[in-house]
């Protein structure tokens, strides 16, 4: 019964997942780059974290808008994989690999949500969908 009730909303729920995940990801970038929602990073402090912030900000906004979604989501997924292994697990085989212990839950979740978005594409309510529709019309 629940399948019958919810199935008609699957495409819209997917679009909301893309939009919200992209916006939340961009907030992390805004925090690192501009100091919104917390303290800004200085480029000299850790250039890798600052570059990650740029990827979060730009990639998150692209994902939320549904513009070049597959590419942006693929880069974002890889960024979160690097974040998990390098900053949470720290490539130390003696430290805990488990995200609940090393506080890497969000990195792992973002990694796989963005991997799914990269595979599936933008879906409805996106610039990519409008571009695709315009390309098919000509």
Q: Longest Cα pair distance anywhere in the chain, in angstroms?
A: 59
Sequence spans of domains, the chain: 10-137
Query: What is the rounded distance in angstroms from the CA atom of residue 138 to the CA atom of residue 135?
Result: 6
- C-alpha R_g of the chain: 17
Q: Per-residue confidence of the chain (138 residues) as pLDDT tens digits?
A: 899 999 999 999 999 999 999 999 999 999 988 888 877 666 667 888 889 999 999 999 999 999 999 999 999 999 999 999 888 887 666 668 788 888 899 999 999 999 999 999 999 999 999 999 888 876
Q: In terms of Cα–Cα distance, which of 87, 135, 117, 127 is closest to 14?
A: 117
């Amino acid at each position: 019964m629940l399948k019958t009730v919810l199935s008609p909303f699957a495409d819209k729920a997917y679009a909301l997942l893309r939009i919200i995940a992209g916006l939340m990801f961009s907030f992390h970038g805004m925090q690192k780059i501009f100091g919104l929602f917390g303290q800004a990073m200085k480029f000299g402090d850790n250039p890798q974290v600052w570059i990650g912030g740029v990827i979060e900000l730009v990639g998150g906004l692209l994902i939320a808008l549904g513009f070049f979604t597959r590419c942006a989501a693929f880069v974002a997924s890889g960024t979160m994989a690097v974040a998990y292994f390098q900053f949470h697990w720290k490539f130390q085989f003696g430290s805990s690999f488990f995200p609940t212990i090393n506080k890497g839950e969000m990195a792992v979740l973002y990694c796989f949500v963005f991997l799914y978005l990269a595979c599936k594409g933008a879906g409805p309510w996106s610039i990519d969908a409008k571009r695709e529709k315009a390309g098919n019309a000509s």
